[in-house]
Each structure stands twice: as structure tokens, then as C-alpha cells.
Amino acid sequence: MPTSLAYPAVVFIWSTTALAISWSVGGMSFMSALVGRMALGTLFAVLALFLLGRSFPMGRAAWRNYLIAGGAMVSSMLCTYWAAQSVSSGLIAVLYGLSPLVTALLASLIVGERPGRGELVGIGLALLGLWLIFSGRLSIGHGGVLAILAVLAGVVLQALGAVLTKKYGSEVPPMATAAGALLVSAVGSGLVWLLFDRQLPQAVSARGIWAVVYLASVGSVLAMSLYFLLIQRLPTSHVALITLITPVTALWLGHVLNGESVEPHVWQGSLVILAGLAVHQLPLWLKRRR
């Protein structure tokens, strides 16, 4: 798929992912929802590889890539799915908007990419936005602060997976990377479910079932294939720029489709975070334009 089509497709899918996660945990435990998503996603990914005649590398380097991507995915999603019980889908998307900043910081530590002055200003603005979100009254359900910290942990784990995948997995085809990562995630989330949950879904709504199917097919197989495709073709920081757009659209979707109220301090903090992301990415935009 051309990069010009893959990029907006990932933007659209990521804009709807947080809302779909919020819908999928209704009527079932968050671990059951996650296991269902990863198991179905693995099935869809293997089927897609078979139908398209794509290979699935089995070498040592390939499995290292699958373990890195899958380990980051399952650990990040465990944090996010747990938090989705207490915080709105829009706020989850806003916090995931910090991914470019976290990715840049981890890239500087792992691959030696030093942030410039403008990037440091952007990081400072994003931290100010986080403080604004935390400073207001968190009327977002029981355990709101812990839930926000869990989402932030998921952001860090996702960013770490992106940096390591970029460093070690450039030789593995994107769809194979997605399938391998989903397989590792399905096994990992299944083990966590057996150890800590073991709850079977009870009264699950049709919306919840379709949300799991959407997350497994579109949100996992298609999105991850396109995501790893972009990771291979573009600089990691340019791919992470997608999260500059998705927080705004996700906040709007959560408000319109899920009736989520957005407190003024959340809007204010979100705008400051987006401003920080824009300042952080400005040097990259100028460099690419030149």
C-alpha cells in the first residue's frame, strides 16, 4: 500500500481505537476483552498471510522482532484495558498523544538521537499539559489517578516497542511482524488471564462483541500491518506524529458517540499537550520541507 494511503488509514483507525476499547470492556472483564481481541487478531492475521501468499519468517532475528513487538503490545494493552474501566476513551487518546515525546526521549537513550532545543520546549509544554489534567478535580471514576498512571505506563511501553522494532526489525515484512506480534500477545494475555482472571463473558452486548471484532481485525491486523509498514518507511518520530491528530478526533468521538463529558481542565491540558507536540515536531516539518 502506498504510504500516502497507509498514513491516513492509521490516523482513522487510531482515532476510533480508544472508543472501541471502552465499548469492548462492557459486560466482560478487561482481560477477557483483551484475550478475545488478541486471539481473533492472530487468527485474522494468519488467514491474511495465507490468502495473500505472504511468508512468515521463522529465523532467530524474526522471532526476536516478534517478541519485542508482541511483548510491548501486550504489556501496553494490559495497562490500557485496565485503565479503560475508569477513564474516558478521549482522555486515553490524549495521553497516548504523548507518544512522540516519549519516543524521542527513548530514541535518544537507545539510538543516540539527541533532542534539539525546540523539541525540549515541546516536551516541557506537554508536561505542563499533563499537570493541568492532574490539577483539576478528577471526576473520572474510582481510581482515576492510578488509571491515568497506567495509561502513561502503556504509552512508555508502546514507545519502547516502536524504537526497538525500528532498531532490530527492519528486515521482517510488516504483515509478518504484525502476525508474530499478535501471536506473542495472544499467548501472553492468555497466560495472564489464566493466572489472574479466568472470568468468562456473561451478559455481553452486541456493541461489545462488534467492538472486539473491530479491534481484532481492523484495530490489530490492519492497523499493526500499516503501522509497521510506516515504521520501516518513515522515521519513527514521523510515524509517532499520527498521535498529534488522533487525540482531538478521539475526544470528539467519545463525546458524541459515547456521551463522555470532558471537563474544562482536560480540554485545557489537552490543548497544551497538542501545542507541545506541534512545537516538538516543528523542526522535523521544516527539515522535511527543505
Q: What is the pLDDT along the chain (290 residues), one digit of tens a residue?
A: 787 788 888 888 988 988 898 888 877 888 999 999 999 999 998 998 888 888 888 888 889 989 999 999 999 999 999 988 888 787 787 788 777 778 878 887 876 666 667 667 777 777 777 777 666 544 455 567 788 889 999 999 998 988 888 777 667 887 888 889 999 999 999 999 999 888 877 777 888 889 999 999 998 888 878 887 887 777 766 676 676 677 777 777 787 788 777 677 777 777 887 777 777 666 666 665 65
SS3 label, residue 112: coil
Position 155 scores a pLDDT of: 92
Q: Quote the CA–CA distance of 232 and 242 in Å, as a whole number.
A: 15
Q: Residue 236, Cα to own-chain centre: how many angstroms?
A: 14
- Give the number of domains in the chain: 1
- Dihedral, CA of residue 224, residue 227, residue 233 and residue 235, to nearest 10: -140
Please state the pTM of the whole predicted model: 0.77
Q: Quote the CA–CA distance of 87 and 82 in Å, as a whole number.
A: 10
Domain that holds residue 49: 3-289
Contact 186, 40 (CB under 8 A): no
Position 231 scores a pLDDT of: 76
Q: Quote the CA–CA distance of 239 and 284 in Å, as a whole number.
A: 12
Contact 227, 239 (CB under 8 A): yes
Contact 32, 200 (CB under 8 A): yes
